[in-house]
Amino acid sequence: MKIRPQYVKQSNPLQLSVIQFTDTHIHSGSKTLLHGIDSSETLKSIVRHINELETPDVILLTGDLVEIPDEESYLKLRAILTELKAPVFCLPGNHDCPALMYRLMNYENIKTDKLIRGEDWQLILLNSMMPGEMYGYLDKAETVFLEKAIQDFNDGYSLVALHHHPVKVNSPWMDTMVLENADNFFQILESGHNVKIVICGHIHNELELCINDILILGTPSTNVQYILDSQQPGYNTKLPAYRKITLGASGLIDSNITWIG
């Protein structure tokens, strides 16, 4: 299996600067509200904030790009993302249509490459979307790709990005939509010894924990945030957000969440 990485230029050779935002849930047409929030407007606010105050080398959009996967929704999102100064790499979530995403979201600074490399780090983007299902699953092609990407980068460090959370978050309802084959996923990660960090979306909330020296980060949505510790889905008053991740040449990681009010 041949993997062609997309190389990005680092503004600082000693670190790769990454911004993650996720679960943009853009609506087509005049229907723009997601549980009372205009998902297009909150994303535009985040784009303006990033352009004014951040200088990322790369931006990752980790799934659920649109609420309903139609062409109009992706084109609406595309128009917003082209305002960003940095390259944006997208991966699909359970609300997306991967084929449509791949067709429409390779435009100007927007890309769907699955393997990105800087000086000392590579970013591996996975498709955990299962058609017709809310939970996540990595099929054979994805696990083979993941294994090969890790094996081929022995001299550097790896960040793995996917939409679905690979660990339970103690939520009675959200944990029914976890990555189903997470055990196999972590076996692959631990076999390579160079995977330092996994990032995900899907949970519309913060997550930070460490499993066998691998940092697991979940990031809030660019619009509404969930109440996880309830029996049924609920929404809180937390603001839209994105995550900044700095990947050092020595393998050190620094990360923080920025809330946009």
pLDDT tens per residue across span 252-261: 999 999 999 8
pLDDT for residue 150: 95
Per-residue pLDDT 10s for the chain (261 aa) are 567 899 999 999 999 999 999 999 998 876 566 677 899 999 999 999 999 999 999 999 999 999 999 999 999 999 999 999 999 999 999 999 999 999 999 999 999 999 999 999 999 999 999 999 999 999 999 999 999 999 999 899 999 999 999 999 999 999 999 999 999 999 999 988 899 999 999 999 999 999 999 999 999 999 999 888 888 777 788 899 999 999 999 999 999 999 998
Domain parsing of the chain, residue ranges: 17-259
Sign of CA dihedral 27, 83, 58, 150: positive
Q: Which helix (H) or strand (E) holds 99?
A: helix 98-104
Residue 48's Cβ-side half-sphere holds a number of Cα atoms within 13 Å equal to 8
- Give the chain's largest Cα–Cα span: 49
Check: CB of residue 22 under 8 Å from CB of residue 65. Answer: no
- Closest residue by Cα to residue 71 from 44, 101, 42: 101
Q: Which helix (H) or strand (E) holds 111?
A: strand 110-111
pLDDT for residue 175: 95
In whole angstroms, what is the distance from residue 185 CA to residue 180 CA? Answer: 9
- Closest residue by Cα to residue 88 from 67, 108, 115: 108
CATH topology for the 17-259 domain: Purple Acid Phosphatase; chain A, domain 2 (3.60.21)
pLDDT for residue 261: 80
Check: CB of residue 183 under 8 Å from CB of residue 212. Answer: no
pLDDT for residue 238: 87
pLDDT for residue 33: 63
pLDDT for residue 73: 95
In whole angstroms, what is the distance from residue 204 CA to residue 135 CA? Answer: 15
Measured between alpha carbons, how far is residue 221 from residues 3, 64, 72, 205 in Å? 30, 10, 21, 7
pLDDT for residue 219: 98
pLDDT for residue 248: 98
pLDDT for residue 192: 80
- Closest residue by Cα to residue 217 from 18, 3, 16: 18
Q: Give the 3-state secondary structure of residue 230.
A: coil
pLDDT for residue 72: 95
The phi and psi torsions of 223 (rounded to 5 degrees) equal -135, -105
pLDDT for residue 154: 87
For residue 38, give both structure tokens. Answer: 């205009």
pLDDT tens per residue across span 235-244: 788 899 999 9
pLDDT for residue 3: 77
Apex CA 203: angle with CA 86 and CA 57, to 5°? 15
pLDDT for residue 232: 79
pLDDT for residue 235: 78
